[in-house]
């Protein structure tokens, strides 16, 4: 999911803030490198500029690591939710039977389940991203089944 970019925040404000921060970081590091280059004739200034450059480079790297960790955490949450859905897709309200149960009995009424709209299935979590991941799961299962079938046919 990280390769697909699913860990990134969907909030346009935080995404733009992250882009602005990266632009600011790039400008800051450029200024620091220029200062190091200009200070080359004077060794004392060069050492101070070099120390500043090392400090700011480390700070930018720490920010990037924190962003990557946030993306990974978001991906983990999404993957867990989709795996849980994929393993049990039945609607919890009607147990996949598509109709409401009559209170006090185990019989079904003629009314469609309100939670699933009469499909008997839960909605895939995380909209398009969840559907894409669930399709990938299904493709993996199909490839595994085909591989097992080929091995069984070639072995007999």
- Taking only the tens place, the pLDDT of each residue in 97-116 is 999 988 888 888 999 999 99
pLDDT at 20: 77
pLDDT at 2: 62
pLDDT at 39: 66
Q: Do 16 and 81 lie in a common domain?
A: yes
> Residue 99 in contact with residue 116, Cβ under 8 Å?
no
The answer to whether residue 1 sits within a structural domain is no
Q: Do 77 and 16 lie in a common domain?
A: yes
Range of the domain at 79: 12-87
pLDDT at 139: 94
Q: Do 104 and 60 lie in a common domain?
A: no
Q: Do 83 and 17 lie in a common domain?
A: yes
Q: Is the pTM above the cut of 0.95?
A: no
Q: Do 74 and 48 lie in a common domain?
A: yes
pLDDT at 1: 65
Low-confidence spans in the chain with pLDDT less than 70: 1-16, 39-46, 155-156
| Distant-in-sequence, close-in-space partners of 21: CB < 8 Å, separation ≥ 6 | 63
Q: Do 75 and 35 lie in a common domain?
A: yes
Number of domains in the chain: 2
The answer to whether residue 24 sits within a structural domain is yes
Q: Do 30 and 61 lie in a common domain?
A: yes
Question: Cα-Cα-Cα-Cα dihedral of 40, 52, 62, 67, to 10°?
Answer: -80
Q: Do 21 and 33 lie in a common domain?
A: yes
């Amino acid at each position: 999911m990280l390769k697909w970019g699913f860990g990134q925040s969907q909030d346009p404000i935080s995404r733009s803030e992250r882009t602005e921060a990266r632009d600011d970081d790039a400008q800051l590091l450029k200024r620091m490198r220029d200062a190091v280059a200009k200070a080359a004739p004077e060794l004392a200034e060069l050492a101070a500029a070099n120390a500043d450059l090392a400090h700011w480079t480390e700070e930018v790297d720490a920010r990037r690591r924190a962003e990557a960790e946030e993306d990974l955490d978001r991906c983990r949450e999404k993957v867990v939710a989709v795996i849980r859905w994929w393993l049990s897709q039945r609607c919890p309200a009607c147990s996949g039977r598509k109709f409401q149960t009559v209170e006090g009995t185990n019989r079904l009424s003629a009314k469609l389940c309100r939670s699933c709209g009469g499909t008997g299935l839960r909605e895939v979590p995380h909209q398009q991203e969840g559907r894409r991941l669930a399709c990938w799961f299904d493709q993996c299962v199909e490839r595994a089944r085909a591989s097992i079938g080929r091995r069984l046919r070639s072995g007999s």
